[in-house]
Chain A
Amino acid sequence: MTSYLVRSSKGQIKIQEMAFVLVALMIFFSVAIIFYISLNSADRKDKVLEQRENEVLETLRKLADSPELRWSDSHEECNGCIDLDKAILLKDPQRNQQVRALWNMGALSLEVISPSRTGECSIGNYPLCKTITLINSTIGSRIQYEGAFVSLCWREQQSRICEIGKIIGSPKELR
């Protein structure tokens, strides 16, 4: 009887030891998997952010040629010119929503560099102002802004007037 009890408790200890080892193994693998997933998702986030930045750069490069902003006059071409008469109209809330859907950006604005001016443009003070903000949904200052130089043109009577300006944009914030 005594020897049976001794043998039985030895067996139990062995099973317990094995169970502990297995539990430890499971915990080890779980931790390893969690570590891998967190590293992987951080890497993915970086890659997506990098892609978004590239996308913004590409969009900025071709924005002056987009139908919503390009200088449109069948009598005279103006490559790389932005039509401020159209740009100011894109600030209208309904149109602005459409523009947001079209250009996948966190922020987008046009700025007059020369001559030096101040203030946000509206239909009332335009073109004697500095900035036309078309998209502004980015929160925080971490985002890198990229700019491209353009001619900002508008019509006065029958002639075209252009000034030097810049397009500024930034990618959408990752949630």
Chain B
Amino acid sequence: MNKRGWEFSFGWIFAIIVGAAILSLGLYAASKIVKQGEYKGDSLSARELGLLTTALETGLESGKTDKISFDIPTRVVFDCDLQGFYGVQKISIGRPGKDTGIPSQFSGKYFFSGKDFVAKDILVLGKPFDYPFRVADVLILWSSDSSYCFLDPPEQMEKEIKSLVKDNRAINSSLQVLSYDKKESCKRGSQKVCFGKVTGCDISVYESLIKKGSRTIYVDSSQNNNVFVWAGIFSDPDVYECQFKRLMKRASSLSSLYQEKSILLNGKGCTSSLTGSLESFSQATRLYNSSSDLAKISFLSQSLGGENDKLSCPVF
């Protein structure tokens, strides 16, 4: 009988240790490369998503809808940042439950949406923001999985929802209009949007504000395309506040551009007396801090628009 058993030489021990080290190093590198690939893919997709939305912003005279589809359910993070002159719209994409890629930044985009959600299809509604001159085209985005039940909306909004629903099948299954008494007929899990009522509502819209849970955001209902109300209903309150801060920054710099243009036109025999009003509007929008300032700015915007319309040589 062999009492020595199997001889485990130094060579074997060395080979096993070094082999294991090389193997684990290889596996680590492989996993890193795969992760890097995913990260790169997510980062490029985020940029592409941003580019896709550009087409929706072009020449919007009224609400325009569309659907953006991913191959698989995807985590989408739409963030708003106030850095730089006009702030930035950040877009990042990832797999559900995982980290996202590098956020893509766009200075001229304004997305009103949830901050972080998973969706296979994203519904998009584009609206121009004229305050009183064109400031930007804004996009309102939400997942096709979430539905909104509008209870007794004002006539103009009801008409708009019905026309959106008629034009787009995906929106048809996402938006619903009912009378408040029939709120039980709202789709299961849908957000109940009430107008002037609170009981049994997830979102309550009033003349100059919107209540979402414990948060209150202010709207300017004098805008004839209801852009503030649409944005307020569909977006996260923090995103709403941040995006309007960015929009007001842009309105401020456009106002000062029109002020210069007004002086330029004066020299061309096209007299305009708008410089003072444009200066005050530029200052007010520059100092805009939150939606609670809207009441004051709304008044300035309306009077500036009215003054401009009366001119024989309008500045904007």
A residues lining the B interface (CB < 8 Å): 11, 14-15, 18, 22, 25-26, 29, 33, 36, 40, 44, 47-48, 51, 54-55, 58-59, 61-62, 65-68, 70, 72-75, 79, 83, 85-86, 88-90, 92, 95, 97-98, 101-104, 155-158
Q: Enumerate the 7 nearest inter-chain pairs by beta-carbon distance, A residue then B residue, closest first.
A: A72-B316, A58-B54, A67-B134, A62-B58, A101-B85, A98-B85, A74-B314
Instruction: Flag if B312 contacts A158 (CB, 8 Å).
Output: yes
Secondary structure call for the B interface:
helix
Instruction: Flag if B10 contacts A11 (CB, 8 Å).
Output: yes
Instruction: Flag if B135 contacts A67 (CB, 8 Å).
Output: yes
Of residues A25, A48, A101, which shows the largest number of chain B Cβ atoms within 10 Å of its Cβ?
A101
Query: Which residues of A are found within 8 Å of B10, using beta-carbon distances?
Result: 11, 15
Interface string of B220-241 (1 = CB under 8 A from A): 0000000000000000000000
Instruction: Flag if B59 contacts A101 (CB, 8 Å).
Output: no
Cα–Cα distance between A88 and B312 once the two chains are bound (Å) = 22
Query: Which residues of A are found within 8 Å of B264, using beta-carbon distances?
Result: 85, 88-89
Q: Which of B73-81, B173-181, B265-273 contacts A (4 or more CB under 8 A)?
A: B265-273
**Residue B63 CB within 8 A of the other chain:** no
Cα–Cα distance between A11 and B10 once the two chains are bound (Å) = 9
Secondary structure call for the A interface:
helix
**Residue B27 CB within 8 A of the other chain:** no
Instruction: Flag if B270 contacts A155 (CB, 8 Å).
Output: yes
Listed by A's residue number, 19 A-B pairs whose Cβ atoms lie within 8 Å are A11-B9, A22-B22, A25-B22, A44-B40, A51-B47, A58-B55, A61-B54, A62-B59, A65-B58, A67-B134, A67-B135, A68-B257, A72-B314, A74-B308, A83-B261, A85-B264, A89-B260, A92-B260, A156-B268
**Residue B29 CB within 8 A of the other chain:** yes
**Residue B200 CB within 8 A of the other chain:** no
Closest A residue to B48 by beta carbon equals A51
Given contact pairs A51-B48, A102-B86, A86 touches B257 in the complex (Cβ within 8 A): yes
**Residue B287 CB within 8 A of the other chain:** no
Instruction: Flag if B309 contacts A74 (CB, 8 Å).
Output: yes
Q: Apart from A73-B314, A102-B86, list 12 A-B contacts with CB within 8 A.
A: A22-B18, A25-B22, A29-B22, A36-B33, A59-B54, A65-B58, A68-B257, A79-B59, A89-B261, A97-B85, A98-B86, A157-B269
